[in-house]
Chain A
Amino acid sequence: MPAGPVLEAARPRGLGAWLTTTDHKRIGLLYIGTALAFFLVAVAFAMLMRTQLIRPGMRLLSPEQYNQIFSMHGTTMVFLFGMPMLIGLANYLVPLQIGARDMAFPRVNALSYWLLLFGGLLLYSSFAFGGALDTGWFSYAPLTLKAYSPHDGVTFWTVSLVLLGASSILGSINFIVTCLRFRAPGMRLWQMPVFAVATFINSFLILFAFPSLTAAIALLYLDRQYGTSFFDPAGGGDPVIWQHLFWFFGHPEVYILILPAFGIMSEVVPVFSRKPLFGRESMLVMLAAIGFLGFLVWAHHMFATGLPTIFNAIMAGTSMLIAIPTGVKIFNWLATMWGGSLRFRPPLLFACSLIALFTIGGITGVTLAVVPWDWQVTDTYYVVGHLHNVLFAGTVFAVFAGIYYWFPKATGRRLDERLGKLHFWLITVGFVVTFMPLYALGPMGMPRRVYTYAPGQGWDTLNLVSSLGGYLIAVAVLVFLFNVVRSLRRGQVAGDNPWGAWTLEWAATSPPPPGNFTWLPVIRSERPLWDLEQAAAAPAAMASASAGEAAASASLTYALAPEPERNTAVPFWAALALLVTAIGLLSTPVVIGLGIALLLIVLAVWMAEPWVQPELPAVPGRQMSFIGAGMLAFIGSETVFFASLIAADIHLRLHAPADAIGAGLATAFPAVNTGVLIASGVAAHYAQVAYRRRRPQSFNFLLGLTIVLGTAFLAGQAWEYTHLGFGLSASLTASAFFTLTGFHGLHVACGIAALVFLSFRVRREWRVWPGAPSRGSAGMVDAGTYYWHFVDAVWVVVFVVVYLL
């Protein structure tokens, strides 16, 4: 198909182009490049660790240094390599795979990336400010409390994770809405390529898992900076609550890291076997099953903490259940290769190696669900072996397969195959030599997170072997890097579809233009290009059909108008404003205020700038606006956030000694205030009705009333805060009160700001297009009202929990 002309409006070049891009492909590349850079840092840390452990009593690293390095290695690999790499690949590919022109919210997409970069840089800056996180990537309390970790590394970690969490949650909202509403006409949700389905499912995991982490780190921040006692037994707190909150996030997190990898496998294996994916429906169901079950297993990280036996048994059962969908997937990939015509290019080599080695990791995972065995090997090198087995031989190998597969699409050139095979063999052997000994070291009694070990315990040789394997991995990574850098300039030129694949991204040029496509095939199945090939190869069938059928089937493809590039610096500035706010959380409230002020200005510009949304495929029937859908996803996430805080609060108040709990609170004034807030909710509802009925004066009045009542509510809260007579850390009740009402108040404040912006936006729209159908504000009005109702609903629950319980 000929490529149409691409609009070359005056667009920024060079660095400016990258800083202001909203093109999902560029953002994807930014994510991937950043992830690779952090990967190299984390691998370097690993080399330091393995060298420190190469023999007993090694003095390369002090315990302080070692503890920072292992903690930052884990944190970097999970949050700054694993997630950004997978999200970057998804960012690049999902719109292409579903025939969309871009993501649903391109500016938010850019914001997500800059938040990632700034969050990562903030985290690493802690090295220069007294030392980085040194309490492990899952940072158990009370070790992380100020008494035992006086330096700021832990605080930097909590604040950076807020930025990173925001980045991930915004990204997942984007993917959900894009997959739901921006698919090419005719493509059903389950007909999306498996990688896109995996990303879609994964986004729900991110949405519902991350808020639990946010709650945990918020409480930790308060314990460290404001003297509360959520995790400190001296004040009635419970260290185990940290573990529950963290692992409720942490376990889904590892599925977040593997589901897209499974998606990549399901793209690569069929193409390089020249067959469709075997059991596709089952594969999609199993992805969803793994995602769902992943939320029910978190306490298998806590079997040794002394939880009730029945609870341990349930968690063991659910943890073992996950083996079933995972095993089914392995069999499906094998069956896909069975009877195929196998092409052992690097993508398939990595896929085979994943099948061979990830299965070991899956199996050792099942053994870790065997509670008594877990009692022996948890917190030993057996777990280090297991986790690297699934994340390295799972996620990382799949990422490599994906990079070799999609590099031609993104750059127009192939990666060198001989170097690819060398990379493959070095890293596969390196992986086995590095990590298989760890499965023995654990049962031989070697605990994890030790900076050194004593001689004569039988651990020396295995550690030596493991370290040598680590060096081999480092060499493999260097080979890969060299291949990438070299192939960018001198790689063999690839066409649009060098692998003969069948999903939509291969219908675009290599690389695709802004707007991705100049033509699209009519979607009939999950292999659109295969269908096109088959139809094009059977013209005789068309000749014998009736005239009507012939006309219909003749239109196998259709053309698309070119899309302009959209550049704006606003997302960059918004991320910067949030970074300033985060720095304020690490320094003084003045800087927080500065950050918020900057953010409000940037958001005003965001709302006001002329912006053309990417083309939304026309789908008949009345549907919720996609902005409204995005808001619902966000509300889902915030619900989990509040639920986590409330669960923690209730648990603590049920189990703490009476003197730590503290006295109850007066309810008369808050009850009145509640009425004010509910009234504002009623006003908001009727404002939405007025908007839909095109009644500007009613709408303006009612929206204004909502804002005024909301502000009155906040003023009431402020009055209550200053007249309570106790502070945040006075008791558990006090801490719960300030935390829950405080975060709720923050949500109200954000809601008021949003409604203020909305009122200006709608006024302008009606001024410019009086009487015309609404130009984009309808979605925002919906979103604003859903959010406001959510804030009301949360308040009712918070009121009951804080004042009445």
Chain B
Amino acid sequence: MERGGVGRNADHWWRHGAPAGRGRSLGLGVLLAACLLLAGCAATQPNIFRPGGSAGHDIRTLAIQVLAILSVVLLVVWALLAFVIIRFRKRPESEASQTRGNLRIEIVWTLIPAVIVTVLFVLTVRTTAQLAPPDRGAQFTVTGHQWWWEFGYPAEGFKTANEIHVAVDRPVNADLVSPDVIHSFWVPQMGGKVDMIPGRVNHTRFIPLASGRYLGECAEFCGFQHGQMRFLLIVESAEEFSAWVRAQRRPAAEPQSAAAVAGAEVAATVGCGGCHTIRGTSLKGAVGPDLTHFGSRGGIGAWTLPNTPQNLLSWLQDPQKVKPKCLMPRVPLPPEQLRQLVAYLEELK
């Protein structure tokens, strides 16, 4: 079975070759994505030499060409250095030739780098132009916050946080904004990063070619927890993507278990609504991540921790201990209420 560039973290990054072409990826993608979602695997290794999207592939190709050319230059320099060191050590001083220069040689070794630079420039401009500027139509808006990701689908009427799904083989267009400091949207396996700069709207566009789970990161220093500001990009079939959109549009699931029902009550009374929204309830805060479908997400605190009940309990007990200086304060609650909250949140699928 072809690997198809899917992001399992089993092997070392240098062992993987180029992923399969687009046609094969589609069928493969469905199969593999199904396996993966069922297997519930962890976040992937974000290696740009294992691209999963069009831009990622283009850049990888360009990188190999550039690195190949420049490696030759490096080897030539090393070879000359080695030769010189070996050949000309320990000679008597009288044998040192007092040459001051040689115009012909100097012209040659000025022209050769000039030619190399010209080639590299042409390759660069070609690929830069190829990674075409984005369409005007953005499907979703990415808002960078200190230190989490907000994904908004205005047309469909929902927002989510820290995890996003897209359909394979379809162009993805996103607007990138930030209300606070500069962040940078980067999914290494999909392509280059684009900064999110307060006061302007940047765009990113890429075509995911292989289904899977891809790690995204903030790539511009944005303060204390820049290092723990991750998100997950899940590439899946068109059907699965539509299903996901439909699920996200629904308001929050009603709590089923007794603990979850009690947890809903706790959430409504201890002030979670000051920052968080859970659509369909009284919580309508806009400062922190939307928790409407929190239970279906794989991470907590922008993937500071995987989303498990135990981790969620630690997080709720003291977010400052897990992610120091993050903007969620510690709200001391008795252990019983914390467990109920965990039960409630995990049922928000």
**A positions within 8 Å CB-CB of B:** 62-64, 67, 135-136, 140, 142-143, 148, 233, 237-240, 273-282, 304-306, 309, 312-313, 316-317, 320-321, 323-324, 327-328, 330-332, 334-335, 337-342, 344, 352, 355-356, 359-360, 363, 366-367, 369-380, 443-445, 447-454, 456-458
- B136 near A: Cβ within 8 Å? no
Contact status of A304 and B193, CB under 8 A, knowing A339-B97, A373-B59: yes
User: Given the complex, which residues of B lie within 8 Å of A342, measured CB to CB?
Assistant: 84-85, 88-91
Closest A-B pairs by Cβ, 9 of them:
A375-B192, A233-B199, A450-B227, A445-B46, A274-B96, A341-B96, A339-B97, A306-B202, A143-B181
B126-144 vs A, CB cutoff 8 Å, 1 = contact: the mask equals 0111010100000000000
User: Given the complex, which residues of A lie within 8 Å of B42, measured CB to CB?
Assistant: 456
Select from chain B the residue with minimum beta-carbon distance to A275: B96
- B99 near A: Cβ within 8 Å? yes
| Chain B: minimal CB distance from A307 (Å) | 10
Contact, CB under 8 Å: A372 / B192: yes
Contact, CB under 8 Å: A372 / B227: no
User: Given the complex, which residues of B lie within 8 Å of A338, measured CB to CB?
Assistant: 84, 88
User: Given the complex, which residues of A lie within 8 Å of B99, measured CB to CB?
Assistant: 275-276, 278, 339
- B120 near A: Cβ within 8 Å? yes
User: Given the complex, which residues of A lie within 8 Å of B215, measured CB to CB?
Assistant: 445, 457
Q: How many angstroms from the CA of A321 to the CA of B228 in the assembled complex?
A: 38
Contact status of A279 and B191, CB under 8 A, knowing A233-B198, A367-B70, A444-B47: no
| Chain B: minimal CB distance from A658 (Å) | 15
Contact, CB under 8 Å: B228 / A371: no
Extra inter-chain contacts (7) besides given A342-B84, A447-B217, CB under 8 Å: A63-B225, A304-B195, A304-B219, A305-B197, A306-B194, A306-B195, A443-B48
Contact, CB under 8 Å: A282 / B12: no
Residue pairs across A and B with Cβ atoms less than 8 A apart, 9 shown, are A62-B324, A142-B182, A143-B182, A279-B102, A304-B220, A313-B128, A370-B66, A444-B46, A454-B43
Contact, CB under 8 Å: B74 / A370: no
Contact, CB under 8 Å: B195 / A320: no
User: Given the complex, which residues of B lie within 8 Å of A62, measured CB to CB?
Assistant: 324
Which of chain B's residues 29-71 have a Cβ closer than 8 Å to chain A? 42-43, 45-49, 55, 58-59, 62-63, 66-67, 70
Q: How many angstroms from the CA of A306 to the CA of B175 in the assembled complex?
A: 12
User: Given the complex, which residues of B lie within 8 Å of A143, measured CB to CB?
Assistant: 181-182, 221-223
Q: How many angstroms from the CA of A451 to the CA of B224 in the assembled complex?
A: 8
Q: How many angstroms from the CA of A352 to the CA of B89 in the assembled complex?
A: 13
Q: How many angstroms from the CA of A323 to the CA of B197 in the assembled complex?
A: 31
Q: Which of B104-112, B232-240, B251-259, B332-340 participates in binding chain A?
A: B104-112
Select from chain B the residue with minimum beta-carbon distance to A303: B192
Contact, CB under 8 Å: A280 / B101: yes
Q: How many angstroms from the CA of A317 to the CA of B110 in the assembled complex?
A: 17
User: Given the complex, which residues of A lie within 8 Å of B309, measured CB to CB?
Assistant: none
Partner of A63, one of B43, B100, B224: B224
Select from chain A the residue with minimum beta-carbon distance to B176: A306
Contact, CB under 8 Å: B95 / A240: no
Contact, CB under 8 Å: B43 / A457: yes
Contact, CB under 8 Å: A306 / B200: yes
- B269 near A: Cβ within 8 Å? no
- B13 near A: Cβ within 8 Å? yes
Contact, CB under 8 Å: B192 / A451: no
User: Given the complex, which residues of A lie within 8 Å of B191, measured CB to CB?
Assistant: 375-376
Q: How many angstroms from the CA of A276 to the CA of B96 in the assembled complex?
A: 10
User: Given the complex, which residues of B lie within 8 Å of A239, measured CB to CB?
Assistant: 182, 197-199
Q: How many angstroms from the CA of A371 to the CA of B124 in the assembled complex?
A: 6
| Chain A: minimal CB distance from B50 (Å) | 10
User: Given the complex, which residues of A lie within 8 Å of B85, measured CB to CB?
Assistant: 337, 342, 352
Contact, CB under 8 Å: B227 / A453: yes
Contact, CB under 8 Å: B81 / A444: no
Contact status of A142 and B88, CB under 8 A, knowing A67-B224, A304-B194, A378-B193: no
User: Given the complex, which residues of A lie within 8 Å of B200, measured CB to CB?
Assistant: 233, 238, 240, 306
Q: How many angstroms from the CA of A458 to the CA of B84 in the assembled complex?
A: 39
Contact, CB under 8 Å: B100 / A276: yes
- B123 near A: Cβ within 8 Å? yes
User: Given the complex, which residues of B lie within 8 Å of A360, measured CB to CB?
Assistant: 74
- Residue among B67, B184, B226 facing the most chain A CB atoms (10 A cut-off): B226
Contact, CB under 8 Å: B182 / A352: no
Contact status of A449 and B91, CB under 8 A, knowing A274-B96, A278-B100: no
